[in-house]
Structure 1
Amino acid sequence: MRKILIVLAGLSVMLCSCAQKGTEFTVLQWNIWQEGTMVPGGYDAIVDEIERLRPDFVTFSEVRNYHGIRFCDRIVASLRERGLEYYSFYSYDSGLLSRYPITDSTTVFPENGDHGSIYRMVSEIDGREIAVYTAHLDYLNDAYYNVRGYDGSTWEKIPIPQTVLEVLQVNDASQRDDAIRDFIAAARKDIEAGRIVILGGDFNEPSHLDWIRETKDLYDHNGLIIPWTVPLMLDNAGFVDTYREQFPDVLSHPGFTFPADNPLIPVERLTWTPDADERDRIDYIFYYPYPGLELLDAAVFGPRGSICNSQRVTEATEDPFIEPLGVWPTDHKGVLVRFLLQ
């Protein structure tokens, strides 16, 4: 009997061990502020950080292809010089980088007049297809600035709106919701085809999960509880906000991604609202639930410092940070997420 119990115990350990086996992969969302050109040494810092983190997929914002040089080719070549093999394809405004070969790529929402863009790539992990989307959404009609007393298109001072309706009327005049509507339509086809679907991006819009009763009198929300359009559209379509899924307490883990402090840049170039607290979480990674796909962890990638009322402040939150090696190449913080695929 004792031998049987020992065998059963051993089988139990083996089964538990097997249950944990699978393939881990990481996704990094990173606004690189005009390809790192706004910060001395910025491009090299982008390469350094990717070499350090070795994310499986990167969703870039602010790809510009300056001087006719394709950023996709440049970043792939720079990483190859470091002994890392990545794949990419031509895009503008937003971009994608993959450690897995890319089998398909499409433009979902083309950039036109600097109103944002969305691109898609397909790859394969352990025999299962994955569609990764990158989004850099319209920066105009940024109504979360209106709430703080600044026009969300001109950034001139204005009276603070008194109702949620006023705010959303401005917000929905942007093309952010149009872009996400196109994403949802494209993603549904991938979901129907049995693919994993991931979306990373700088949305230029906060989350309805962050502007709640508990935060209405914080961060210059000025008493407003706002169901921000784009994250709510994704929520209603079944997509999961990874950071808020991992850290549901918005008070202990606000997860601010903008504006990041950058010691190499004067404060006046890091803030759009000199007399207000504009800190917000506007960079995201979403996924659609998939059998065997598990969110393991998430972290803010970047400095602990932020800009608040034109002051450099250090966040005293419980957010997990992956701090920079040295030069920080941007005015945003990124998001790094780790998944397990079984």
Structure 2
Amino acid sequence: MTQLPRPKMLRPLLSAVLLGAACLAASPARADGPESVRVMSFNLWHGGDAGKQPLDATVEVIRRSRADVVGLQETGGTAPKGEERPDRAAEIAERLGWHYLDQGGRTGVISRFPIVAATPRKWGAKLALPSGRLMYAFNVHLAHAPYQPYQLLRIPYADGAFLGTADEAVRAAREARGGQVAEMLAEVAAVAAEGLPMVVTGDFNEPSHRDWTDAAASAGIHPLRVEWPSTLAVEAAGFVDAYREVHPDPLASPGVTWTPITRPDDPKDHHDRIDFVLATPNVQVKSAEIVGESREAADIVVTPYPSDHRAVVAELLFPEVAPSTPGE
């Protein structure tokens, strides 16, 4: 498995270019004021079909979230054996009147804003905002198995071997997803010199190092502290976890996205935050909310709820661009 890139190689490149991102991304005649963009990550659960709800329910989740850009995972619907899975992302984009990038692998980016380009391996879409600014939206669906929280808790799943320590969990997570993370971050690094704001959305199928803390372990929320490598690598590359930026205490605001279909005390499951919106620091995270099935579990409630993942949506504020002065 390809090893994760060394974070220090990516951070200076991003840091150097992000200071000028607002000016580089702006059209001087149209983009002087601040601009808000709502970005969402949403795993559809086999195109929404597995939840046995009409596609209307999935579309309603996106509408109620007031998202502008959505990274979708599990976009392929169910189909009879031998038939091709229908592309539910294309259907959703058509219903909303939005634009769509098919990333392959049953992932895609849909956007109310035009998609003007894609990175070479389609990890990211380049979007043109109404102001004339540009941004990149990257979207991932990382490997679902082996799933280390279950391995640590001795919950049988996909023949994953049981694990006993945090170091074992980190190694197993890196082996499962490290290559995907490295590929995505390589495309981030390739466009970083453009100085544009970037977001990463996705179902990481791995928790956050910001959640599995000593305090969470002491409270019995998680079995031990783990420095989960996928979120750690993306943050080390210069991104901010939008939900934890707004809700820094994982005990007070767990932000659980996996899963609304089992009870929190189900001994055969472990609830966690594995769906993320991350953003480069040249935009302000104004809010971050969970979208789900009930007021107890979500900030934005949609019933019936069609997925086995709750969604997360973040409002990002592009800063005001100072007008140019003569001679500049």
TM-score, normalised on structure 1?
Answer: 0.75
* Among 57, 61, 83, the residue aligned to 2:69: 57
Distance 1:162 1:70 in 2: 40
Distance 1:68 1:107 in 2: 25
Distance 2:112 2:205 in 1: 27
Tell me the equivalent position of 2:236: 236
**Secondary structure of 2:233's aligned partner:** helix
Is the counterpart of residue 122 in structure 1 residue 134 in structure 2?
Answer: no
Higher relative contact order (CA 8 A, sep 6+): 2
Distance 2:120 2:260 in 1: 29
Tell me the equivalent position of 2:24: none
Largest Rg, 1 or 2:
1
Tell me the equivalent position of 1:177: 178
Instruction: Spell out the pairing of 1:13-162 with structure 2 (5 A cutoff).
Output: 21-64=33-76, 67=84, 69-79=86-96, 85-90=97-102, 91-106=104-119, 108=121, 119-125=123-129, 126-154=131-159, 161-162=163-164
Tell me the equivalent position of 1:264: none
Structure 1's consecutive aligned runs of 4 or more residues displaced over 4 angstroms after TM superposition are: none
Q: Is the CA contact 1:122–1:132 (under 8 Å) kept in the aligned structure 2?
A: yes
Is the counterpart of residue 328 in structure 1 residue 305 in structure 2?
Answer: yes
Q: Is the CA contact 1:148–1:220 (under 8 Å) kept in the aligned structure 2?
A: no
Quickly say closer, same or farther: Cα 1:68–1:138, change in 2 above 3 A. Answer: closer
**Shift in Å at residue 153 of structure 1?**
3.0
Instruction: Spell out the pairing of 1:277-288 with structure 2 (5 A cutoff).
Output: 278-288=270-280
**Shift in Å at residue 321 of structure 1?**
0.9
Distance 1:209 1:340 in 2: 23
Instruction: Spell out the pairing of 1:190-201 with structure 2 (5 A cutoff).
Output: 190-201=191-202
Unpaired stretches in structure 1, ≥5 consecutive residues: 1-19, 80-84, 109-117, 262-266, 306-313
TM-score, normalised on structure 2?
Answer: 0.78
What is the Cα-based RMSD across aligned positions, in Å? 2.4
Q: Is the CA contact 1:34–1:62 (under 8 Å) kept in the aligned structure 2?
A: yes
* Among 277, 296, 300, the residue aligned to 2:286: 296
Q: Is the CA contact 1:208–1:232 (under 8 Å) kept in the aligned structure 2?
A: yes
Is the counterpart of residue 165 in structure 1 residue 178 in structure 2?
Answer: no
Q: Matched residues, percent identical? A: 26
Distance 1:100 1:32 in 2: 21
Distance 1:186 1:257 in 2: 27
Q: Is the CA contact 1:220–1:276 (under 8 Å) kept in the aligned structure 2?
A: no
Quickly say closer, same or farther: Cα 1:205–1:61, change in 2 above 3 A. Answer: same
Unpaired stretches in structure 2, ≥5 consecutive residues: 1-31, 320-328
Q: Is the CA contact 2:69–2:110 (under 8 Å) kept in the aligned structure 1?
A: yes
